[in-house]
Amino acid sequence: MKKVLLSGFVIFTFLGYSVQQRFDAEQTSVIVPNSSVTPSAGFSTIVTPTPSPTAAQAGSTPPLAKPTATPTPKQLGQYRDGQYTGSVADAYYGNIQVKAIISGGKITDVQFLQYPNDRNTSIEINTQAMPYLKQEAIQAQSANVNGVSGASASSAAFVQSLQSALNQAK
Amino acid sequence: MDMPVIVEIVGESKAQAFETVFDYFHWVDNTFSTFKSASEISKINDGRLPVSRASREMLEIFRLAEQTKRETDGFFDITRHGKLDPSGIVKGWAIHNAALLIKKMGHNDYYVEVGGDIEVSGHNADGKPWTIGIRNPFAIHEIVKIVHLINHGIATSGTYERGKHIYNPKTQKPAGEIASITVIGPNVYEADRFATAAFAMGNEGIRFIGKRRGLEGYMIDTGGIATFTDGFEAYTI
C-alpha cells in the first residue's frame, strides 16, 4: 500500500510538470508541482522528480494569457486530452517514469514506463490481504541433511530479555 | 555470540578461506556483543561512546533496525529496557556478509551458519540443493521438516522452553503461544529479521510472513501443529 501511495504522489507531480507546460489561463484549477514529495513513513528518502528541460520551473506562476472576448473551454475536466510522459526521476531504489493518458479531461490510464525493480525491498507489494495458509501436524523426519535450522538461545531476543528480567526478580 | 559457526565451501581445501570468514565473525562479535564490555555496542549503551562517533557499520545496523521496525509495524525493536540490543538484526546481516565474502573469493557453492540461521548458495558436495532440516522445538535432536534450498537464507526464531512467553513489545503482554517460526527468504538477512519480528507477533506472525512477497514460513505452535505459507511446500520437494 505504501508503495502505491508514493507512486500516486509521483504521478501527480509528473502531471503537474507536464500539464503546467500546457496550462491554459482559462482553466480554473491548477496542479502546482511540488519540488519534493514527502514519503510515507516507510521510506527514509525524499523523492525529488527531476524536471525535464521543457517543463515549467517549480514554483513559477502559470503564464498569464489575456482573456479572450469569447472564452471557449475545451473540456469540462481538469486536464487536456492527450498522453503525457513524465521525466525520469530517481526514486532512490531505481528510476521511475510514468505516462498518464487523459481522455475526456480525466486521467484514464497511468502506465509505468520504468519502475524500481533492482532491489529486493522495492518489489514487495501486498498482493493479497489474506494469505493462503495450510496446516499439518509435525512429524519426525529421518533423512540425512546438510544442516538444521532451529532457534538458538539468543535468536528469540524478546524471550531472552524476559528471562534476564526474571532472573533479576528472583 | 556463543553459537556454533559452521562454514562449508564446496571444493575448497585450504584453511585461508575459512579463516577469513571466522575472522569476520570475531570482528562482528567484538563490535556488537552486548556480553562484551569492550564492544562498541556496550560502550554506546553505557555512555562511553556517543552515537555521533559510532562506526559506519554500527550506524548501518541502526538504520537497518529502524527500517525493519517500520516494515514490521514496530514488532521488530532493538531497544530493550532503555538499552540497544541489535543482535536480532546483526546475526542475519553478519551471516549474509560472510556469504558475500565467500562469493567474492570466487566460490558459488557454500553454506554459512551461525546458531541455526543459514545462508546457502549453489549446491552441496553431492551436486544437489542444500538439504536443511527444521528442528523439532519439542525434541531438539529431531527434525520435523526438510527443505531443499539453492540460493536462499533460512532462519528460525523460537524458544525450546515450555511455559516461556513471547512478549509483544507493544503491549508488554504475552503475544500468543507459538514454539517456533522458520522463515525462508532470498538471503538470511531478510529471513532473520522477519523471523524475529514474526515470532514476536505470536500466532499472527505466519500471516505477516504470508503477506510479504519473497518470504515463506513454517510456524509450529505449542500444540505441535504447523501452519505454513502457500509457497512453502515448493521447498520440500
Which cell goes with B31? 563490535
A141, A145, A153, A144: which is closest to B139 by C-alpha? A141
Query: Using a CB-CB distance cutoff of 8 angstroms, which residues of chain A are in contact with residue B169?
Result: 158
Domain of B230, CATH number, reads 3.10.520.10
Q: How far is B16 from chain A (nearest CA, A)?
A: 23
Q: Please answer yes or no on whether B210 and A158 come within 8 Å at the CB atom.
A: no
Backbone angles phi, psi at B36, to 5 degrees: -110, 120
B172, B212, B223, B217: which is closest to B199 by C-alpha? B217
B147 lies in which domain range? Answer: 5-236
Give this prediction's pTM. Answer: 0.65
Nearest CB to B227; choose among A124, A133, A145? A133
Q: Please answer yes or no on whether A135 and B226 come within 8 Å at the CB atom.
A: yes
Model pLDDT for residues B61-77, shown as the tens digit of each residue: 999 999 999 999 999 99
DSSP string for B169-223 = TTTSSB---EEEEEEEESSHHHHHHHHHHHHHTGGGHHHHHHHSTT-EEEEEETT
Count how many domains chain B has: 1
Tell me whether B89 touches chain A (CB under 8 Å).
no
Look at residue A111 in the predicted model and tell me its pLDDT.
Answer: 66
With an 8 Å Cβ cutoff, the interface of chain A facing chain B consists of 41-42, 44, 120, 123-129, 131-141, 143-159, 161-163, 165
Task: Work out the number of other CB atoms within 10 angstroms of the CB of residue A122.
Answer: 16
Query: Using a CB-CB distance cutoff of 8 angstroms, which residues of chain A are in contact with residue B226?
Result: 135-138
Query: Using a CB-CB distance cutoff of 8 angstroms, which residues of chain B are in contact with residue A119?
Result: none
Look at residue B80 in the predicted model and tell me its pLDDT.
Answer: 82
Q: Is the pLDDT score of B158 beyond 70? A: yes
Nearest Cα residue in chain A from B199: A156
A:B CB pairs within 8 Å: 179
Model pLDDT for residues A9-41, shown as the tens digit of each residue: 444 444 444 444 444 433 333 333 333 333 333
Tell me whether B121 touches chain A (CB under 8 Å).
no
Residue range A115-120: mean pLDDT, rounded: 51
**β-strands A147-149, B130-136 pairing:** parallel
Model pLDDT for residues A68-98, shown as the tens digit of each residue: 444 444 445 566 777 776 666 655 555 666 6
